[in-house]
Each structure stands twice: as C-alpha cells, then as structure tokens.
Amino acid sequence: MAGGHGNEPSTYPSRMEPCLASSIPPLPRQNVALSNNMLPLSGGQGRRIRVLLVEDEEIHRRQVLARAVLRAAGVEADEAENGAEAGRRVRERVGGGGAYDLILTDKQMPVMDGHEATRQIRAMGVTTPIVAVSSDSLPSDVQAFTAAGADDFTPKPLTKEKVGHILSKFGLA
C-alpha cells in the first residue's frame, strides 16, 4: 500500500484492528447539579420566565436553549424556526394573555429574517425585550437590529452566562 511521497512506503498501518466498545473502560460518573446561581429560577412575581427563541438551525436551538439548564432554571422556552413563525407565536401569546418575557432572535433565517420579524413584532405594539443573537456582529449589524427595534445584541454562541446577564439586564432575574 503506497501512501508516502513518490515511491516511499506509507507509515500508516495497512490494517486496522477492531475495537469493541466493551473493551473501553467507562468514564467516571460525576454528579452534576444545577445551582440556583446559574440562572434565575423565576420572574419577579414568582412565575416562570417565558422566552421565545427564534433560530432556523436546530443545532443552534438545542445549544442556545440548553434545555436542561433553562428548563431546570424555570425558564419556559418556545422555539420558532423563522421570523414569520415568531410573529405568529407572539400574536398568539398576546391574544391569549401570556406574552413572552424575552425574545431571542437570529439574523439570517428563511421566510423572514430577524430584522423584519423584530419590526413586525414592534408594529404589533409589543414591548417585550428583543435581543438579537447573531454571529454577524459588525457595528452595522448591531445598528440594523437597533433600527428594527431590538433592545440589545449579543454575539453567538449564547452561553448560560450570557443568558443570565440578559435576564438580569431586563429585570427578569
């Protein structure tokens, strides 16, 4: 089996030995507990915090929501895959008396982007804090979200520390 440069023999093994999962020792188990200081447990009146995450990529929704952290901390998180779905969810919540406490929105999404979704949500008269969460963080990107009606901007990735800071900033802690 050639694999080096020119006619040199390869230094890679020509045959791989199978490895059975049962032959690998298990990693030591650690007890991981969520502490109360990671994120607030509830909103100011002792109720659950309602957050809408607007993100088109499922992998980011899973990472951002960090379901185990947010839900264990008392945050009720809904998801929308695009700006149009976000507008529909906000309209349903406002009409049903259970408005969101916070909206986290991405910039680039199919159907309707974060800028337009923010404008439409503001046009409904909704004053819920909207925080743009994007990997595009040039000053012009931040200004575009501010002009659309967003209250704040934070670059991706959205960590539990950033979520805690955002919740504190808007009096949800």
Domain with residue 98: its CATH number is 3.40.50.2300
Lowest mean pLDDT among 4-8, 20-24, 37-41, 152-156: 37-41
- Work out the pLDDT band at 7, boundaries 50, 70, 90: low
Kindly state the average pLDDT of the residues 27-56.
53
- Residues paired with residue 80 on neighbouring β-strands, in sequence order: 54
- Does any domain span residue 2? no
Flag whether pLDDT at 156 surpasses 60: yes
Kindly state the average pLDDT of the residues 142-152.
95
- Does any domain span residue 135? yes
Flag whether pLDDT at 110 surpasses 50: yes
- Work out the pLDDT band at 89, boundaries 50, 70, 90: very high
The average confidence (pLDDT) of the chain is 73
User: Could you give the CA distance from residue 166 to residue 173 in angstroms, rounded to a whole number?
Assistant: 9
- Does any domain span residue 62? yes
- Work out the pLDDT band at 28, boundaries 50, 70, 90: very low
Tell me the CA distances in angstroms from 69 to 34, 98, 106, 114, 152, one per residue in order.
Answer: 7, 22, 20, 25, 22
Report how far apart the first and last C-alpha atoms of the chain are (Å, whole number): 63
- Does any domain span residue 38? no
pLDDT for the residue numbered 15: 47
H/E element holding 7? none
Query: Which two structure tokens, joined as six digits, stand for 80?
Result: 């929308």
- Does any domain span residue 125? yes
- Does any domain span residue 94? yes
Kindly state the average pLDDT of the residues 111-118.
90
Which domain range does residue 122 map to? 49-169
User: Could you give the CA distance from residue 146 to residue 118 in angstroms, rounded to a whole number?
Assistant: 9
- Work out the pLDDT band at 72, boundaries 50, 70, 90: low
- Does any domain span residue 164? yes
Q: How many CB atoms lie within 10 A of CB 140?
A: 8
User: Could you give the CA distance from residue 65 to residue 77 in angstroms, rounded to a whole number?
Assistant: 7
Flag whether pLDDT at 65 surpasses 80: no
Kindly state the average pLDDT of the residues 41-54.
68
Q: How many domains does the chain have?
A: 1
| Residues recorded for the chain | 173
- Does any domain span residue 37? no
Flag whether pLDDT at 10 surpasses 70: no
